Amino acid sequence: GEDVEQSLFLSVREGDSSVINCTYTDSSSTYLYWYKQEPGAGLQLLTYIFSNMDMKQDQRLTVLLNKKDKHLSLRIADTQTGDSAIYFCADHTGNTPLVFGKGTRLSVIA
């Protein structure tokens, strides 16, 4: 079945850019998502990208998709302490359920 992989931890200084990476295995993926989860909270949809796009930008967030390498990244510009959270990459293929990565814990150092 589909597998989605993420690195588990990332630490950045406040004001720097953060880049969270994700790889997936199913070449027929249709939508790829980034969700943010703060401690004790639900999942907040941050952004998503359709598989026929290479890049999507939304304010401080930039998503890059390399379909050839099955690699997705989320760049957060000017990272703030409020960005500290777990970020989940998730993949949708056809009518199958969402497949989540294990999540990347982002720590922002003031």
Q: Which is nearer to other proteins, 84 or 93 (CB)?
A: 93
Q: Does 24 bind other proteins (CB under 8 A)?
A: no
Minimum distance from residue 46 beta carbon to other proteins (Å): 11
Q: What is the C-alpha to C-alpha distance for residues 10 and 97, in angstroms, rounded to an integer?
A: 27
Q: Does 95 bind other proteins (CB under 8 A)?
A: yes
Q: What is the C-alpha to C-alpha distance for residues 107 and 49, in angstroms, rounded to an integer?
A: 24
Minimum distance from residue 15 beta carbon to other proteins (Å): 28
Secondary structure (H, E, C), 40-92: CCCEEEEEEEECCCCEEEECCEEEEEECCCCEEEEEECCCCHHHCEEEEEEEE
Q: Which is nearer to other proteins, 63 or 101 (CB)?
A: 101
Burial class (CB in 10 A: 0-12, 13-18, 19+), 65: buried
Binding to other proteins by CB under 8 A, coded x per residue (else -) over 39-68, reads: -xxxxxx--x--------------------
The binding site for other proteins (CB under 8 A) comprises 30-31, 33, 35, 40-45, 48, 88, 92-95, 97-98, 100-103
